[in-house]
Amino acid sequence: MQLNHSDLIKLLQKAYSAEKAAAFAYQGHAGSVKNKEEKKAIHQIEVDEWNHRQEVLKIMQQYQIPVSKYYEFRFHIIGKVISASCYVIGWFMPFYFAGRLESGNVCEYFRMKHYFHSLGIREHDHILYEMGMKEKEHEVYFLEAIKTSRLLPFFEKLFSWGGRKSFNNIDLDEKYPVDESDEYCKK
């Protein structure tokens, strides 16, 4: 079966390649931190990103959606540049920008779910929900790591993400179940 939804196809292709960029970035991030617990947690987030990439690929293959060579190249370079930069930009910025990125990634998976629903397809609800929630967990982890930093209020004002601002409307303490999660990430 092929999908007749260009926005969904593009979002799947972009998410597939962006997960590789994120995984590469977390390799550098984990390598640049000294704290063993932080290193371990960031490595686990990298593993999660590789797993998300495989899950997105399964969905793409089901609908004969090709991998975008453009996105693969673009996000490969972006991921490697971010990975290398983690060694030179200090401690705060990799945590801040990882959290900001993850905050936006949450809604990618819920938008996919909304798009599939517009086509009458619900078979991917659970995996898309799980990946969106995992991205939210990543966002929360990174925000927790920097919440007491003096830099956070400045960066939050400048980049519109932080302790009081998120790019999604998910509260992990009061999650909707999968079948009631259509309210997430509606714009």
What dotted CATH number matches 6-183? 1.20.1260
* Token couple for 157: 């004002």
Task: Provide the pLDDT for residue 98.
Answer: 94
Pick out the chain residues at pLDDT < 70.
187
> What are the residue ranges spanned by the domains of the chain?
6-183
Sign of CA pseudo-dihedral 30, 75, 89, 109: negative
pTM of the model: 0.94
**DSSP structural state of residue 171:** -
Task: Provide the pLDDT for residue 186.
Answer: 83
Strand stretches in 29-120, DSSP E: none
Give 24's contacts (C-beta < 8 A, 6+ positions apart). 76, 79, 80, 82, 83
Task: Provide the pLDDT for residue 82.
Answer: 94
Helix, strand, coil % over all residues of the chain, rounded to 5: 75, 0, 25
